[in-house]
Amino acid sequence: MEKRKIIAIDMDGVLADTDQHFLTWYERDYGVRMPYESLLGKPEYEAFPVEGAIRKMVFTPGFFRTLPVMDGAVEAVKSLMQDYNVFIVSAAMEFPNSLNEKYDWLAQHFPFISWKNIVFCGDKSIIDADYLIDDHCKNLDNFKGKPLMFHSAHNVNQNHHQRVKTWAEVLTAIKEHHHGIIEKID
């Protein structure tokens, strides 16, 4: 039997819709509803007019705990788990206040993922997996397996990784890549 391939999945911007949460909290705190389009192509920390707004949000208790789930993520991860070993790999160490919130968020929205398959880290170069689904090129660039760049406002101008725009596209991309490998072996 073929050994199960390992898929590593990022949280912020991939399982969780961080962009929508930024827009919602920004409106709540500063009274201005910014259009999604205003975020396009900007590093997250420079995407809003009020300087330091993002940094303040990510260090506010509750931010990570209340993130909305990305459309289609729950069903897609369940589907991938039928054929792959799925690990959640989040760069949570940058925001130590987020550790427990992220753990509780996963327990609420993805209760079918075992604690054995959760990784909170800093630098993701230490992760050994066959696929990495992430919205940040800094994580994808040094990955040894197949990188998939999850579409996000901040990465619209990055084009050196295969882009997946939705969770449906993730499933298709992995299926096609996997079949490509098997055909090469056969």
* Residues marked as catalytic: 10, 12
Interacting positions 23-82 with a copy of itself (CB under 8 A): none
Using the rule CB under 8 A, give the single segment among 9-17, 30-38, 58-66, 87-95 that binds a copy of itself.
87-95
With CB under 8 A as the contact rule, the residue among 38, 66, 100, 159 that binds a copy of itself is: 100
Task: Work out whether 123 is an interface residue with a copy of itself (CB under 8 A).
Answer: yes
* Cα 111 to Cα 131: distance, rounded to the nearest angstrom: 22
Query: What dihedral angle (degrees, nearest 10) is formed by the CA atoms of 168, 106, 151, 9?
Result: -80
Q: Which amino acid is at 161?
A: H
Structure tokens at 157: 């101008």
Task: Work out whether 157 is an interface residue with a copy of itself (CB under 8 A).
Answer: no
Query: Residue 67 Cβ, how far from a copy of itself at the closest point, in Å?
Result: 18
Interacting positions 102-121 with a copy of itself (CB under 8 A): 103, 114-121
When the beta carbons of 75 and 123 are compared against a copy of itself, the nearer one is 123
The conformation of residue 12, written as its DSSP 8-state character, comes to: B
When the beta carbons of 4 and 165 are compared against a copy of itself, the nearer one is 4
**Helix (H), strand (E) at residue 175:** helix 167-185
Task: Please report, for residues 6, 23, 55, 57, 131, the alpha-carbon distance to residue 51 in angstroms, rounded to integers and kept in the order given.
Answer: 39, 15, 9, 12, 35
**Which residues in this chain contact a copy of itself in the complex, by CB under 8 A?**
6, 8, 87, 89, 92-94, 96, 99-100, 103, 114-123, 126-129, 144
